[in-house]
């Protein structure tokens, strides 16, 4: 199976729901990797703020994030710019994805391609 996991939840919302969403996204990524699936995790929207949080050793999902780090494709460049996360994404060593042109932005990650290529796509 090919599985794309798109993380949109905002760690700055301060809600337990946001943590629950990212935790479940990473958990399904780990389970899928263990099953031998092709997995890509992409941070979009306010979710581009997550890599900086998840990279902190003290974060409760840090171990899980590190376990699936090989599947993290990157963060949307345009979204990171809008949500002030560009420097943090770069500091985490993640690529800024800009494979989809969109007027007024430096480019976005192309979520539609997952659908067009038949990937199962989950949004958290």
Q: Is the pTM of this model over 0.75?
A: yes
The domain limits of the chain are 2-123
Query: What are 97-113's pLDDT values in tens digits?
Result: 999 999 888 999 999 99
Query: What are 45-76's pLDDT values in tens digits?
Result: 999 999 999 999 999 999 999 999 999 999 99
Query: What are 10-29's pLDDT values in tens digits?
Result: 999 888 999 999 999 999 99
d(C-alpha 58, C-alpha 39), whole Å: 26
- Are 77 and 106 in contact, with CB atoms under 8 Å apart? yes
d(C-alpha 112, C-alpha 7), whole Å: 15
For 2-123, which CATH class? alpha beta
């Amino acid at each position: 199976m090919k599985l794309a996991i798109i993380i949109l939840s905002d760690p700055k919302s301060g809600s337990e729901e946001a943590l629950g969403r990212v935790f479940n996204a990473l958990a399904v990524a780990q389970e899928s990797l263990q099953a031998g699936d092709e997995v890509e995790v992409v941070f979009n929207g306010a979710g581009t703020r997550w890599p900086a949080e998840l990279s902190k050793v003290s974060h409760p999902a840090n171990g899980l994030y590190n376990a699936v780090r090989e599947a993290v494709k990157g963060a949307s460049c345009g979204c990171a710019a809008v949500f002030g996360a560009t420097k943090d994404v770069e500091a985490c060593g993640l690529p800024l994805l800009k494979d989809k042109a969109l007027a007024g932005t430096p480019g976005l990650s192309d979520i539609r391609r997952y659908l067009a290529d038949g990937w199962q796509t989950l949004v958290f």
